[in-house]
Amino acid sequence: MKFAHLLAASTLAVMAAGGVHAKTLVYCSEGSPEGFDAAATTAGTTMDAAAGTILNGLVQFEPGTTNVQPALAESWEVNEDGTEYTFKLRPGVKFHTTDYFTPTRDVTADDVIFSFDRQGNADSPWINYLPGISYEYYNSMEMPALVKEIQKVDDLTVKFVLTRAEAPFLANLAMPFASIISKEYADQLEADGNLSALNSQPIGTGPYQFVAYQPDAVIRYQANPDYWNGAQAIDDLVFAITPDPAVRRQRLEAGECHVMPYPAPADIEALKGNDTLQVMEQAGLNVAYLAYNTTIAPFDNPEVRRALNMAMNKEALVEAVFQGTGVVAKNPIPPTMWSYNDAVEDNPYDPEGAKEILAAEGVDGLTMEVWAMPVQRPYMPNARRTAELIQADFAEVGVNVNIVSYEWGEYLKRSTDPTRTGAVILGWTGDNGDPDNFLAVLLGCAATGDGGANRAQWCNEDFDKLIQDAKVTTDVAERTRLYEEAQVVFKDQNPWATLAHSTVYMPMSAKVQGYVMNPLGRHSFEGVDLAE
C-alpha cells in the first residue's frame, strides 16, 4: 500500500517534470477579499479578486484610461433626451464551466436584468442572501431612483429606461458592482438552497475562472478556455495574500511573486534600482484635502479659509510627506481627469498676505484643530506628518493648531458630524473617472449632513447648480464647461485646502509583459504574459 502510494507519487512527479510547463503568474495581493460578489462590496481588494478577473460588465474601462468601451455589450444607443440606453449583447459569450456549474446557454438579456434586479428588488431572495450584505455601490450611485425599468427587447437586446438623464450612467455601468452574473447559476443555487455559494463559488464570463480560495492565504484561478476576448497567455493566476508591504517587497525580490501593489514609499527607489524588476507608475486618480467645517465660525468666512490656505507651504509639504511620489493639488479633481481646469490659480504661498487677511477679518489668536487620519491611504502616506507641517505653517501666521486623531472608524464617523470643529485631513480615489464622482459626491449639497461625504459641510448654490446641470447633460463639451466653471467657484470659496494628488506605483518582475496600470486603482491581469 505504502509502496503503491510512493510509486504513484513519483510517477506524478516525473509526469509533472516532463509535461508541458504551465505558466503561473503570482500576484502578491494586499488582503483577503470578502468573497467574489463584486456588487456586495466597497473594498478594492474584493473588486480585484472578482471584477475584471472573474466577471465582466456590459461595458468596461479601456485599459489604462477611464474611457468606456464595449465588453459584454457590443454596442449601445442612447435616445435623444438621454433617458433610454439600449444595449446589443455580444452573441456567444459563455459563462465559466467549473466542477460546480455547467452552463447550458450563453449570456442573454435575462442575465443582465437579473444582475441588476437582485441588487434593488426588495422581493428578490438575493437582496439579503448573505448576513449583513448591502449593495452599497448600487445604492450610492442612486440606481434605485435612477433606473425605472430594465426591459428585455430580445435575447440579445436589453434596454435601460431611466427616470431622468444621467450623464455618468455609462461610466457607472463599467464599475465592478455592475458586473453581469449568471441567472442560470443563481437559479440553480436557489433550487439547492445554497445561495451563499454565489459569493464563495463564483461563476462569470471573465478571463479567469475560480478554482479555490483559502482566506488569508491564497486564491487560485485558471484561464477561461472560452473567453470571448481571446485566450490568456497565463494558465494559472494566483493571488498570494501578503498584507505587509515590507514582506510583499521581499517576496517580489525573492521571485516568489511577479507583481505587487502598494509598495511602501520609502522602498520605491530601491525597487527601481533592482535590475530584475520594473516599476510602473501613474498619477493616481485621487486627491488629498484638508476640509474646514464651513458652517462654523470663523471657517464660515471664505476669506479666512483663503488666508489659511495661503499660509500653507504646499510645495514643502508634498515634498516632505510624499517624497517625490505626489504633486501639489489645486483643484478637487486630479489633472488626469477630463474637465480639469488648469487655468485655475492656486492660493499663493504668502504668510504675510495671510496675516493681513486674518487681521482684516478680525481673526486674532485663533486656535483650531487639525485632524490627522490614523491610517495610510493611497492618496495620503502620512497624515500625521502632514498635520505637523500644517501646524508649523499656521503658527507662522499666528494660528495655533492642536493635532487630533481618532481610530479610523471613529475618525470617519466623527468627521461627518455637522457640528464638528476643526479641519479634517482626508481624501478620495475616483470610482468611475467621472468628475461628478468627485464634485457631487464630496462637495454637493446633497452630501452634507451627518454621515455624508461632504466633510466641509459646504453647500454653495452656484456650485451645486453647475454640477447638477452637468449631471443631466449628455454633451461632453458642455459638461466640461460646467465642471471647469465649478472648479472656479470652488477655488474662490476654498471649502478645502487641496493638498496633493499621489502617484501610484506597481513594482513587478521584469518578466511581466502587457500589464497596464488602471487609473481607478483596480488590478487586472487580462492580457498579461510572462517571458520565459
409 touches other proteins (CB under 8 A): yes
**Cα–Cα distance measured from residue 263 to residue 240, given in angstroms and rounded to the nearest whole number:** 15
Q: Cβ–Cβ contacts within 10 Å for residue 298, how many?
A: 17
**Cα–Cα distance measured from residue 426 to residue 414, given in angstroms and rounded to the nearest whole number:** 12
From candidates 240, 404, 489, 516, binder to other proteins by CB under 8 A: 240
Q: Which helix (H) or strand (E) holds 117?
A: helix 109-120
User: Helix, strand, coil shares of the chain as percentages rounded to 5?
Assistant: 35, 20, 45
Q: Which is nearer to other proteins, 60 or 416 (CB)?
A: 416
194 touches other proteins (CB under 8 A): no
Per-residue binding letters, 313-342, with other proteins (x by CB under 8 A): ------------------------------
Q: Give least dist CB 134 to other proteins, A.
A: 5
Q: Give least dist CB 378 to other proteins, A.
A: 11
**Cα–Cα distance measured from residue 425 to residue 404, given in angstroms and rounded to the nearest whole number:** 11
12 touches other proteins (CB under 8 A): yes
Strand 218-223 versus strand 400-404 pairing type? unpaired
What is the footprint of other proteins within residues 89-128 (CB under 8 A)? Answer: 128
What is the footprint of other proteins within residues 39-58 (CB under 8 A)? Answer: 42
Per-residue binding letters, 357-396, with other proteins (x by CB under 8 A): --------------------x-------------------
**Cα–Cα distance measured from residue 342 to residue 493, given in angstroms and rounded to the nearest whole number:** 17
CA-closest candidate to residue 369, choices 391, 402, 398: 402
Q: Which is nearer to other proteins, 37 or 184 (CB)?
A: 37
Q: Give least dist CB 376 to other proteins, A.
A: 13
Q: Which is nearer to other proteins, 347 or 454 (CB)?
A: 454
- The set of residues, in sequence order, having a beta carbon less than 8 Å from that of 127 and lying 6+ positions away, is 118, 119, 121
Query: Dihedral sign, CA of 135, 138, 140, 145?
Result: negative
Per-residue binding letters, 242-261, with other proteins (x by CB under 8 A): xxx-xx--xx-xx-x-----
Strand 367-371 versus strand 400-404 pairing type? parallel
What is the footprint of other proteins within residues 289-308 (CB under 8 A)? Answer: none
At 162 the three-state DSSP class reads strand
From candidates 64, 352, 413, 478, binder to other proteins by CB under 8 A: 413
**Cα–Cα distance measured from residue 289 to residue 316, given in angstroms and rounded to the nearest whole number:** 15
From candidates 294, 416, 509, 524, binder to other proteins by CB under 8 A: 416
Q: Give least dist CB 136 to other proteins, A.
A: 7
145 touches other proteins (CB under 8 A): no
Distance from chain centroid for Cα 319: 25
From candidates 133, 203, 285, 311, binder to other proteins by CB under 8 A: 133
**Cα–Cα distance measured from residue 296 to residue 130, given in angstroms and rounded to the nearest whole number:** 42
Kindly tell me the burial class for residue 214, based on how many C-beta atoms sit within 10 Å of its own C-beta (0-12, 13-18, 19 or more): exposed
- The set of residues, in sequence order, having a beta carbon less than 8 Å from that of 463 and lying 6+ positions away, is 439, 443, 486, 489, 490, 493
From candidates 1, 3, 5, 348, binder to other proteins by CB under 8 A: 5
DSSP 37-86: -GGG---HHHHHHHBTTTBEESEEEPTTS--EEESSEEEEEE-TTS-EEE
451 touches other proteins (CB under 8 A): yes
Stretch that binds other proteins, among 2-10, 48-56, 79-87, 350-358 (CB under 8 A): 2-10
# residues contacting other proteins (CB under 8 A):
67
Q: Which is nearer to other proteins, 97 or 196 (CB)?
A: 196
Q: Give least dist CB 498 to other proteins, A.
A: 16
Q: Give least dist CB 407 to other proteins, A.
A: 4
Stretch that binds other proteins, among 156-164, 208-216, 290-298, 471-479 (CB under 8 A): 208-216
From candidates 65, 151, 196, 274, binder to other proteins by CB under 8 A: 196
Q: Give least dist CB 259 to other proteins, A.
A: 14
From candidates 86, 124, 139, 336, binder to other proteins by CB under 8 A: 139
CA-closest candidate to residue 51, choices 38, 64, 67: 38
Q: Which is nearer to other proteins, 142 or 369 (CB)?
A: 142
Grid coordinates given for 511 = 518578466
Q: Which is nearer to other proteins, 145 or 392 (CB)?
A: 145
Q: Which is nearer to other proteins, 397 or 453 (CB)?
A: 453
Contact 160, 150 (CB under 8 A): yes
β-bridge partners, 223: 208
DSSP, res 254: T
Grid coordinates given for 108 = 442573454
Q: Give least dist CB 510 to other proteins, A.
A: 18
From candidates 130, 170, 404, 530, binder to other proteins by CB under 8 A: 130
Strand 423-429 versus strand 367-371 pairing type? parallel
Q: Which is nearer to other proteins, 70 or 452 (CB)?
A: 452
- Phi, then psi, of 39 in degrees rounded to 5: -80, -20
144 touches other proteins (CB under 8 A): no
Contact 213, 200 (CB under 8 A): yes
Which parts of this chain interact with other proteins (CB under 8 A)?
5-6, 8-10, 12-13, 16, 24, 26, 31-32, 34-35, 42, 128, 130-134, 136, 139-140, 196, 199-200, 212, 214-218, 220, 238, 240-244, 246-247, 250-251, 253-254, 256, 377, 406-410, 412-413, 416, 426-428, 441, 447, 449-454
